[in-house]
Amino acid sequence: MDRGEGLMSEKTLCIIKPDAVKNNFVDQINKMIESKGLSILKSKKTNISSEIAKQFYAEHSEKPFFNELVDFITSGPAVVQILEGDSCITSYRSLMGATNPEEAEEGTIRKKFAESISKNAVHGSDSPESADREIEIMSALF
């Protein structure tokens, strides 16, 4: 994939987490994503397995919150999506807001919909390398 200068279309991995699915926030979150000019290329509601969750969150395996994180992301249906658009990795990260909703800015998804730092409504890839890796892990869903 071309990673040259300037704006370019790229893909990122979005997960609407079980808290937001349970609270029926999927449509509102997806409206915010599309209003930002990003396309929802693929979308699948699924129960993420514990095996996939551990692989997906491998970078956090030594963190004190790892078990809680895996339990939470597997606790009920999530919506796994591939987003596409110009600079969509950083654009979607800024739309998400800070990991801790108490620190998230007005107008962000987490400010509006996150319950807590652990139940924080959405996931988004943090770099092109993470996006490639995470899309590959979830590719069997689509």
The binding site for ligand UDP (CB under 6 A) comprises 60, 65, 68-69, 99, 117-118, 120, 123, 126
Q: Which is nearer to ligand UDP, 31 or 60 (CB)?
A: 60
Which of these, 121, 102, 138, 117, lies nearest to 64 by C-alpha position? 117
- The set of catalytic residues is 123
Query: What is the distance, to the nearest Å, from the Cα of residue 108 to the centroid of all Cα atoms in its chain?
Result: 13
List the beta bridge partners of residue 39.
84
Smallest CA-to-CA distance from 26 within 72, 78, 75, 76 is with 78
Residue closer to Mg ion (CB basis): 4 or 64: 64
Q: Are 47 and 76 in contact (CB under 8 A)?
A: yes
Q: How far is the CB of 101 from Mg ion (least distance, A)?
A: 15
Q: Round to whole Å and give the CA distance between 36 and 102.
A: 22
Residue among 34 and 68 whose Cβ is closer to ligand UDP: 68
Please state the closest distance from residue 4 (CB atom) to ligand UDP, in A. Answer: 26
For residues 70 to 109, the per-residue mask of contacts with Mg ion, x marking binding by CB under 5 A and - elsewhere, is: ----------------------------------------
Q: Per DSSP, what are the bridge partners of residue 98?
A: none
3-state secondary structure of 39: strand
| Residue 86 partner contact from Mg ion, ligand UDP, none using kind-dependent CB cut-offs of 5 to 8 Å | none
Residue 116's binding partner, choosing from Mg ion, ligand UDP, none, with beta-carbon cut-off 5 to 8 A by kind? Answer: none
Positions touching Mg ion (CB under 5 A) are: 126
